[in-house]
Structure formats: structure tokens, C-alpha cells
Amino acid sequence: MSLSLACILAEAARTHPDRVAVIDDAVRLTYAELWAEVRSLAAGLRELGVRPGDRVALMAANSADFPRAYFAVLTAGAVVVPVHLLLAPQEIAHVLRDSGSTLLLSDRALAPAAVRGGAALDLPVVTVGAPEGDGPPRLEDVAGRVSPLATLCTRSAEDPAVILYTSGTTGTPKGAVLSQLNLVMNATVNAYDANDTRQVDVVMGCLPLFHAFGQTVAMNTAFRVGATLVLMRRFEPVAALELMVEHHVTIFHGVPTMYVALLAAARTLPRAALPSLRLSVSGGASLPSAVLEQFEQRFETTVYEGYGLSETSPTATTNQPRMGTRPGTVGHPIWGVEVEIARHDVLGSIELLPTGELGEIVIRGHNVFLGYHNRPEATAEAVVDGWFRSGDLGTKDADGFITVVDRTKDVIIRGGFNVYPSEVEDALMRHPGIRQVAVIGLPHPRHGEEVCAVVVAADPAAPPTAAQLVEWATDRIGRHKYPRLVELVSELPLGPSGKVLKRELRRRYAAAESESGAGESDSSEPGAPAAGEAAAVASGEQTRPHGG
């Protein structure tokens, strides 16, 4: 069966030629205009020697140049390898080398970083976008010497379309290979079944497009129905609100940190200064219930929280308009996909658990990737008995709603008891003095791990004390769960998609705790904090250095 992800744009240009596809500052491209530019750039890639099946790396920010280059590579029959924009040159080189990319395509602004990243491999770099002085050759100039491709180069449905590199939280980043069918189906199901995206919608594109969430759920889903995508190069909450109001945005996709930031920016604004959102989608990490409730009330919208991974194209489950929402859950599996709970301690096979039991979330269906590029052993560990093992712990209730409890690697084991950070974070986020919080486990000589809350205050001039936050938590969650350690910071370290980098927090504070011994108490377990323990965390709040 022949199929190409490029057909998403080609069909939109055929059926909605005059609809605006992309708004990027002053640039407005209709679907017909965007498709014409893509076919021209694809011809330029062919002129440079790119052939079907070749891998072409792409470094581009959230501008019109990203969809132009992305779909040009696909139209030429090649495989897109989006590059994380915050990588160091040696990390870029790893992605280029591991993927076997034959060309690095970059927007003009990122050309210097692209050249440095490709230097070790002597990989040719070509740019897209308006000319800005000297630099690598422009794809537009090459394309100008040849005729545009008449149509897309069709591929097999099981051929690779995109290779997404994982964040590398547990070692060297791996390339998740996604097929044409994976990505066409995920965009289609998101549009027509999961999120009810419509042609008249205007979609906010502030999630990084090199990431699976922004790429599939925002860009490709919008193009699948002929909606308009408003691009923002770098998320900034006040500017995002202004952009949404200016362009009458109706759909917002974001990660929890974006929802927190938009809420903070909206507090002093009248309702007329806020966008009228028909649909709000949250993913990437667990959205605290307090944030969801406040956002829905302030913006007069419904937030549909979903769940997925790069390896699942990405959407696997989501709260869906036609099936109702349940705060605190990530909804039901999307159309055509199965999501179940399996024993996480059995590695060689999948043993499904009864309804309501806690285990590992496993997924199978049209969204599951082809495997890790050149990593057969890693693929065999991840896909067992036809199911993809997510590495996430969760439950499934009698109504079919999935709840993600935590990443298996983020679960804290304190004194033999499992503590799920998301549960502690949800309780702390209801404190009026907290704007953001991340809960991590730190090594402890007696308990194995200690629960630590890293907190950003709602009012930096009058932050809550550590003792106040400990007391708040002890009134709301079990005695083995509340944080004995509290760190106040000005901001949390975030990845490019807005996820909190808990691995960075663990690295940062593990050394500090081992040096200070703060939070070490001789009180029996479980039990309330001893006076000395509360004093230790309060003192630590004042005396330890806290970076953003």
C-alpha cells in the first residue's frame, strides 16, 4: 500500500487552496502557496542528490520555514530527522551520525550551529529562508534552477517518514523510527476522533515543532483538516495571549508549565484580553488538577489532557469530547489503539492486570513505531508480544479512563513505601503560595530516598516557608509521602518542550543533601516530622544556594 505523510499537505492544498495554512509574524501562506513552495524545495533537494529513503536532518525554529522544509523532505521521498535545537555541537553530531543523515537542512538563524554540528562529519549544510548575508548555500537558490516536482514521491505505508530522537534521560539518545502510516493515522485520529479539530479553527503553534507533540498534534493535525496554524518562535506567556487574541485562536496545545505561565499572566487581565478557546489540550507531563480547574474557570474552556510518547507518534490516550472528561486522568485510548496495564516487573512477556490495579502502561496499534534506528536489542526490550512498554506506571478504571501515576524511574521508594511524585505535586499545587513544584527523590542513608519538593513561589517577595509547606502537605497526603525537604528556587529547569528536567534537579540537589545531611531524623517511620527535622528543612531553605 502506498502512502506518504506529505499527502496531508497535498490534500489540504487540493481541497482548501485559499485557506490560510500558516501565520508567521507578517508572513501568511495559503495552502496552495505553501504546497507550491514545498514542491519547489523538494525539487531542489533532488538536485542536491537526495533520493527516496535518504535521511535529511532538519534544524529549524517555529517559523514558516519548518513546515516548508519538513514537507519538502517528505515530498522528495526522504526521511526527516528533526534536531533538538538546544543540543551542543557534539550532540548534534551524534544525531547526524547515528541517523546516517546525508544532508543537514537549517533555517538561516540556526545556520552557524548547524555548521558546527555537521563539521565533524563533513556533512553538507543547506539553508532555507530569507537570505541574511554570507553562509551556507540556500535551497531556494538551488530550487530556482529546476522545475518544481509535479507531485509527491509516494512511499510504502510502512516506510520510515520521521526519526525522532529521544531526550536521552537514560543514556545516549535513540532514534524512534515512525512510519508514514504511524503519522498519517495519528494526525487523522487526533483531528477527527480525539480532538474534533475543524477547518475553521485557528491553532496556536507554540510547542516546538521538532518535538512530537507540536509536530503531530498541532501542525500535522491542523493541516489534516485545513485549519490555520499560528506560529510562535519562543513561548512567552504575555505575548502568547496577545497573539491568540489577535488571530482569534480557538485551539491551544501546551505542556503544564505553559498552562501555569498563562494563568499567571492572565490574573490581572480583563476577560476581553483573553482568547476564546474552544479546545485546550495538555500533554507532555501530568497537569495538576488545581491548574486544570483554574485554567478552565479563568479561560472559560475545557482542558483535554492526553498522553503519549515519541514512540507512539505521539498520542495514545486523551480525554475526548465525545467520551467526556475526567480530571486527573488522560482519558481513553484513541481510535484504533489498545492501551492496557501490565505487570512492570515481568520483562520477557506481557501479563495484563485486572481493572484498577497499578502497573506499566502498554500500548499497541497503528501508532506504535517501527523501532529504534539501528538498535534491535533496544527495540526488542521496548516491544514485547506486540505491545510497546511505555515505562510509565498507571491504572485503568472500570469506565476505561487511564490514569498515569508516574514514570517508573521517577517513583520514590522511601523506607520501603512507593511515593508517586505526581500525587505529592498535585497536593502542593493547591497551596496559594506555590506557582510551580517538582517533587524528586534524593538519596538518604536511612530511608533509601527522601522526598524533596522544589518550589517556585507565586510571590517571590513573600514565599511560603518550608515548614508551612510541610505542614500543608501533612494535612493532605499520607505520612510516608509528604516532603521532608523543600527547596525554593526562582525557576525550574525546563526542556525545549516545557517539561521539567527532574534528572537535572536530582543531580543538582543530591550532592547538596549529602553534604548538609538536612532532613535526617531519628523519628520512627512512618510519623510526623520531628521538630529538628522541620527546622532542618527551614534552615536549608535559607542557607543553600538555589539556582534557576
The predicted structure's pLDDT at residue 526: 32
pLDDT tier at 537, thresholds 50, 70, 90: very low
Asked if residue 162 belongs to a domain, the reply is: no
Say if residue 441 is in the same domain as residue 520.
Answer: yes
- Which candidate, 183, 141, 136, places its Cα nearest to that of 9? 183
At 59-76, the pLDDT tens digits run 999 999 999 999 999 999
Instruction: For residues 431 and 473, give the distance between their C-alpha atoms in angstroms, rounded to a whole number.
Output: 9
Instruction: Supply the pLDDT for residue 529.
Output: 32
Same domain, 466 and 529: yes
pTM beyond 0.85, yes or no: no
Centre a 10 Å sphere on the Cβ of residue 1 and count the other Cβ atoms it contains: 7
Residue 534 and residue 422 in one domain: yes
- Which pLDDT score, from 0 to 100, does residue 447 have? 79
Domain end marker among 364, 380, 407: 407
| Higher per-residue confidence, 165 vs 89 | 165
Whether 356 and 378 map to the same domain: the answer is yes
Residue 403 sits in the same domain as residue 426: no
Summarize the confidence of residues 260-266 as an average pLDDT.
94
Using DSSP's 3-state secondary structure scheme, residue 305 falls into strand
Domain boundary among 365, 386, 407: 407
The pLDDT, as a whole number, for residue 262 is: 97
Convert the pLDDT of each residue in 478-490 to its tens digit: 888 999 999 999 9
**212 versus 528: which is more confidently predicted?**
212
Adjacent-strand bridge partners of 80 = 56, 162
Return the closest-CA partner of residue 186 out of 154, 156, 161, 151: 161
pLDDT band at 298 (very low <50, low <70, confident <90, very high): very high
Residue 457 makes CB contacts below 8 A (sequence gap 6+) with 433, 434, 435, 463, 464, 488
CATH number at residue 337: 2.30.38.10
Q: Say yes or no to pLDDT of 301 above 70.
A: yes
Give the pLDDT score at 515. 56
In the predicted model, is pLDDT for residue 399 greater than 60?
Answer: yes
Residue 525, pLDDT above cutoff 50: no
- Expressed as residue numbers, the domain containing 387 is 323-407
Judgement on whether residues 469 and 512 belong to the same structural domain of the protein = yes
| 434 and 521, same domain (yes or no) | yes
Looking at the fold, whether 400 and 416 belong to one and the same domain comes out as: no
- What CA–CA distance (Å, rounded) separates 3 from 301? 36
Does residue 393 sit within a domain? yes
pLDDT band at 232 (very low <50, low <70, confident <90, very high): very high
Query: Is residue 203 within 8 Å of 228, Cβ to Cβ?
Result: yes
The reply to whether 490 falls in a domain is yes
In tens, the pLDDT along 148-163 reads 999 999 999 999 999 9
Residue 376 lies in a domain: yes
Give dist(CA 532, CA 461) in Å, integer: 26
Count of the separate structural domains present in the chain: 2
Assign 513 a pLDDT band (cuts: 50, 70, 90): low
Q: What is residue 254's three-state secondary structure?
A: strand
Q: Give the pLDDT band of residue 516 (cuts 50, 70, 90).
A: low
Residues 395 and 417 grouped into a single domain:
no
Whether residue 456 is found in the same domain as residue 333: no
User: Confidence band (pLDDT; 50, 70, 90) for 180?
Assistant: very high
Q: How far apart are the first and last CA of the chain?
A: 51
Q: Do the domain assignments include residue 394?
A: yes
Same domain? 476 vs 515: yes
Residue 445 belongs to domain with CATH number:
3.30.300.30
pLDDT at position 406, please? 82
Same domain, 402 and 428: no
User: Confidence class of residue 510 from pLDDT cuts 50, 70 and 90?
Assistant: confident
Residue 292: what pLDDT? Answer: 95
User: Of 202, 206, 241, which is closest to residue 497 (Cα–Cα)?
Assistant: 206
Which of these three, 385, 407, 429, is where a domain ends?
A: 407
168 has a pLDDT exceeding 90: no
Q: Is the pLDDT of residue 397 over 90?
A: yes
**Whole-number mean pLDDT of the chain?**
90
